[in-house]
Structure 1
Amino acid sequence: MRNLTLLIILIFYGMTSKAQDLQQYQWENRIIVVYSNETELDLVSKQLDLLMEESNKLSERKLVVIQAQKDRYRTIFPENSEWVSSSLKDELKISRKTEFEVFLLGLDGGIKLRQQEIVQTEKLFSLIDGMPMRKAEIKRKDQ
């Protein structure tokens, strides 16, 4: 009986931690997820390079950058992390056929942009700066 209880706790903990992949950032950070299958690493590299060139603007907008693959992810910005197993692909409802996709999630956790090609930083920052919560942040900073 004790082993069964331990097994249930381990299963529950594993399911809960995976379900919280993105929830841990909600209301604290906006998230950019750069997803690829293992064949589109060149696109991922280009997208991440574009983003990292603008690290000050990422910080200013409270952005976390995540690289995701089929069953794992890692944080790229503000700090690099190790790969961790994840159900992020299911959480974002990414099709099995998808080779490359970029997501922007707002502070509320909602998907604000979903694009299957490289996203230019100007487009990304313009979209964020037009969001009501970002406008309020800018207004508070200017006061």
Structure 2
Amino acid sequence: MAQSAPDTVDFRLEAHRWEHRLLFVFTPTEAADQLRAQKDALAEQDAGFRDRDLLLITLTGAADGTVREGPGRDAQPLTNAAVTRLYDRFNVPSDAFRVVLVGKDGTEKRRDAEPVTGRSLFDTIDAMPMRQREMREENTGGE
């Protein structure tokens, strides 16, 4: 039986339900212009990712993928099986660029065919009822 490299992650959506929001960036190649634009748009957004419990998952050409806690954080490689499952789950062709946001409830909240800005992404998240509740709890937590 083939073993995964010890540092690979067999990423499963259900393991993150109610814990994390997930931003999937599907790209045909690591050199795609849209991927570079997406990375630039999310650069310096680590604090926003942390505040919103948002993980960044980048999937390349239905073969490679990484998960990280934010755009500038260390990436952990995904298993090939996890990459295949995610492409299938979100019905993304391996030659397409897509950005998919999944809420803590495990449902898709947003899908874009072009890179998204950090502000646009955070505005979408901040409008979600669960995020509204989190922000209220943060504001009253110190009392």
Please classify the TM superposition score into its range, dividing by the shorter chain length: 0.7 to 0.9
Aligned to 1:128: 125
- Which of residues 91, 96, 99 in structure 2 aligns to 1:99? 96
Aligned to 2:6: none
Identity %: 27
TM-score w.r.t. length of structure 1: 0.78
Find the residue that maps to 2:59 and give its secondary structure.
strand
Matches within 5 A, 1:109-120: 109-120=106-117
CA RMSD of superposed structures (Å): 2.1
- Which of residues 57, 61, 64 in structure 2 aligns to 1:72? 64
Higher helix share: 1
- 5+ residue gaps in structure 1? 1-6, 11-16
CA contact (8 A) 1:29 1:107 kept: yes
Match for 2:90: what amino acid? L
- Which of residues 25, 39, 57 in structure 2 aligns to 1:34? 25
> Which runs of structure 1 show a deviation greater than 6 angstroms over 4 or more consecutive aligned residues?
none
CA contact (8 A) 2:25 2:99 kept: yes
CA contact (8 A) 1:72 1:88 kept: no
Match for 2:50: what amino acid? S
- 5+ residue gaps in structure 2? 3-8
Q: Is the counterpart of residue 24 in structure 1 residue 24 in structure 2?
A: no
> Matched residues in 2 for 1:76 and 1:142: separation?
27
CA contact (8 A) 2:101 2:109 kept: yes
Bigger Cα displacement from structure 2, 128-137 vs 76-85 = 76-85
